[in-house]
Amino acid sequence: MNVSQIRDKFIHYFVAKGHTHVASSPVIPQDDPTLMFANAGMNQFKDIFLGKEQRSYTRATTSQKCIRAGGKHNDLDDVGYTSRHLTFFEMLGNFSFGDYFKKEAIQFAWEVSTEVFLLDPKKIFVSVFETDDEAYDLWLNHVPANQIVRFGAKQNFWAMGDTGPCGPCTELLFDRGERFSSAKDPYEDESGERFLEFWNCVFMQFDKGPHGQVLLKKPSIDTGMGLERIAALKQGVDNVFEIDLFQNLIRDAEKILSRRYEDHKVAFHVIADHIRSLSFAIADGAILSNVDRGYVLRKILRRAVQFGRRLGQEDPFLHKMVLPLIHQMGSTYPELKKEQSHIEEMILNEEEGFLRTLKRSGGLLQKAFEEAKPKNLLEGEVAFKLKDTYGIPFDELALMAKDMSIKIDTEGYLKEEERAKEISRKGFEVKEQLSMEPLLEFVQQHGPSRFVGFDTLHTNATVIGILHNGQFVDTLLKGQSGSLILDETPFYAEKGGQIGDVGSISAFRVDATKTPVKGLILHEGTAEDTLVLSQVVSAKVDYALRKEIEKHHTATHILHWALQQVAGPQVRQQGSYVAANRLRFDYNAQKPLSDEELKLIERICNEKIRENLAVTTYELG
């Protein structure tokens, strides 16, 4: 059974059980700033689980494109050295939004594993959360007690974040035999290589808030099964890279690299995995850069190039792997075919740039080792800088040092690495804290803010919320800064790079309008007289400023269209800034525009503006 057949059988099973087949969301999250990449099947359903969105179905099934190479989930360093880790993978999943719960979810998982994929029931072990007796008892209907293990929260309790839906989970693990480990059960299998986890089912039954957990009104189900892992089990191979999809990719890589897979397995595994992450990310609109996800993708590319160099590749080669990938996955994911030339060009330009960097760093490498000779030691700080700045892996540095009879300060290197990780973790935690639980609770209680600013810039409204120093209060005194929430408002909130409106709300000067959580419009400013809750006020937007912002908003759309005419249809917006006096448009590009192209874009934009066409407003999503 090949990978495509496995994917189809999973989806067809759940469709037959009343689930709606939902297409994979892009691997680059569109509306979730807390995520670097889509890393789980549930990402696109996050607002449903939070109770902020409803859809026409209560059961869903997907095969979700995922990347785990940065942020909370990062498997990048393990790829090539274990039998199961990947940076890009497909997550097969079934979901219930307040429909079925533990009994049905466990039944489905067992039927799919043993009746659809025909796995040996005697080799399937199950883990449950240590206090989840309900799940334990339900599993006894399918497996004997000696095949059920209990684990603590670290392994068997899942939470979306510090707050929000959460709950215990149950995992299905397949015993791959003594050739992987002498461990007798999952308790002893610390590496996770013998008892391979292939299915995780989360029972979302709690809502975690600042004061503890409460039961959800509608318990839900979120499951995930790694397509590549179940393929390895079905095809009887020991490593995910030995499944048909990867082996086909690797055969093409052998021709491109002029090397045999059997002699260089780790290098081929890294290259085959990394071309998938890069291609899918670029196809979904990512760019390679020095910040955030762009930096992670650049690191992925450089790691693949480094392994190519170990195989004697001094010239760019990775871009040549795009076409073989399309042969394997293009029919399932047509975006790869559509963006082929764009993907190839971006990867090629990055390869060429990195090879130039390596040539420039060659002198620095030599200097670092020369300075290390007197003490016979390469300082950990220097080793980490070479790795972090120039992308030279530690193991490659270690090999160079060994050849020169020089030791590396491994402890110092690890300290520098941990310090960098701590900085990264703190940056991620800041994003996670933006959920602002009191504001979410306010929206749930009062409903979303009603925006009337397309029809009028001046209306009477009632103050339904006052914030001062981040706390809800009943009164805002003269001279105090704070935020007002109205039952309806003509003020457009800062969104999508466009600044928010300013103006006045009776005795309150509005300096900014923002939407910190979905559905809520906050008017930030200073009280010029005392304001109280339930007060009727006159909300008036600064007309002149709004009109200037509108001009730049329309100009942004014109510029995007003009760029696509000149630079190509692959141009996608990556960010923008729309203000009253200027606009900025960020887009993905692998090379700068020429002077001629810039002049052409200016001419196209001006011609379109001179047409003086009527502007039509659409409010989407």
Range 309-316 average pLDDT: 90
Query: CA 115, 9, 104 angle in degrees (round to 5)?
Result: 55
- Closest listed residue to residue 270, CA positions, set 248, 302, 244: 302
* Length of the chain as a residue count: 621
DSSP secondary structure code for residue 495 in this structure: B
Give strand pairing partners of 132. Answer: none
Tokens linked to 275: 């071309």
Tokens linked to 110: 């067992």
What single string gives the DSSP state of each residue in 307-319? Answer: HHHHTT--S--GG
DSSP secondary structure code for residue 355 in this structure: H
Determine whether 573 is exposed, middle or buried from the number of CB atoms within 10 Å of its CB (0-12, 13-18, 19+).
Answer: middle
Tokens linked to 210: 């600042």
Query: CA 359, 362, 365 angle in degrees (round to 5)?
Result: 155
d(CA 220, CA 54): 13
Contact (CB, 8 A) for 95 and 220:
yes
Max CA-CA distance within the chain?
80
Q: How confident is the model at residue 435 (pLDDT cuts 50, 70, 90)?
A: very low
Strand 124-129 and strand 164-175: the pairing is: antiparallel
Range 524-549 average pLDDT: 94
pLDDT at 73: 64
Contact (CB, 8 A) for 119 and 108:
no
> To the nearest whole percent, how much of the chain has pLDDT over 70?
92
pLDDT, one tens digit per residue, over 134-170 is 999 999 999 999 999 999 998 999 876 666 778 999 9
Angstrom distances, CA of residue 304 to CA of 261, 339, 430, 542? 15, 21, 31, 53
**Does the pLDDT value for residue 55 go beyond 70?**
yes
pLDDT at 4: 95
Q: How confident is the model at residue 71 (pLDDT cuts 50, 70, 90)?
A: low
Strand 488-489 and strand 531-532: the pairing is: unpaired
DSSP secondary structure code for residue 497 in this structure: T
d(CA 467, CA 449): 15
pLDDT at 9: 97
**Does the pLDDT value for residue 424 go beyond 60?**
no
Distance of CA 292 to the CA centre of its chain: 11
Q: Which residues contact 231 (CB under 8 A, 6 or more apart)?
A: 1, 2, 3, 6, 240, 243, 244, 245
Rg value, the chain, Cα = 28
Residue type, 468: H
Q: How confident is the model at residue 429 (pLDDT cuts 50, 70, 90)?
A: very low
Which stretch of DSSP H or E encloses residue 601? Answer: helix 595-610
- Closest listed residue to residue 256, CA positions, set 271, 242, 246, 270: 271
**Does the pLDDT value for residue 75 go beyond 60?**
yes
Strand 69-70 and strand 59-67: the pairing is: unpaired
Contact (CB, 8 A) for 157 and 166:
yes
Contact (CB, 8 A) for 277 and 67:
yes
* Burial per residue of 1-13, b for 16 or more beta-carbon CB atoms within 10 angstroms, e otherwise: eebbebbebbbeb
Q: Which residues contact 430 (CB under 8 A, 6 or more apart)?
A: none
Stretch among 90-99, 368-377, 537-546 having the lowest mean pLDDT: 368-377
Q: Greater confidence, 214 or 536?
A: 536
d(CA 566, CA 557): 15
d(CA 223, CA 92): 8
pLDDT at 431: 39
Distance of CA 415 to the CA centre of its chain: 27
**Does the pLDDT value for residue 26 go beyond 50?**
yes
Alpha helices in 224-339 (DSSP H): 227-234, 244-257, 265-283, 292-310, 322-329, 335-338
Q: Which residues contact 396 (CB under 8 A, 6 or more apart)?
A: 306, 310
Which stretch of DSSP H or E encloses residue 93? Answer: strand 88-96
Range 171-183 average pLDDT: 93
pLDDT at 33: 67
d(CA 565, CA 550): 23
Give helix 227-234 / helix 3-16 axis angle, nearest 10°. 110
Tokens linked to 309: 């160099």
- Closest listed residue to residue 466, CA positions, set 521, 531, 536, 540: 531
Contact (CB, 8 A) for 490 and 541:
yes
Q: Report the mean per-residue pLDDT for the chain.
A: 88
pLDDT at 428: 42
**Does the pLDDT value for residue 14 go beyond 60?**
yes
Contact (CB, 8 A) for 107 and 245:
no
- Closest listed residue to residue 570, CA positions, set 594, 599, 598, 591: 591
Distance of CA 409 to the CA centre of its chain: 34
d(CA 72, CA 37): 10
Contact (CB, 8 A) for 476 and 510:
no
pLDDT, one tens digit per residue, over 567-597 is 887 787 877 788 888 998 888 776 778 889 9
Extended strands (E) in 69-180 = 69-70, 73-74, 88-96, 124-129, 148-151, 157-159, 164-175
Q: Would you say the pTM of this structure is higher than 0.75? A: no
pLDDT, one tens digit per residue, over 42-51 is 888 888 887 7
Stretch among 89-103, 385-399, 574-588 having the lowest mean pLDDT: 385-399
**Does the pLDDT value for residue 3 go beyond 60?**
yes
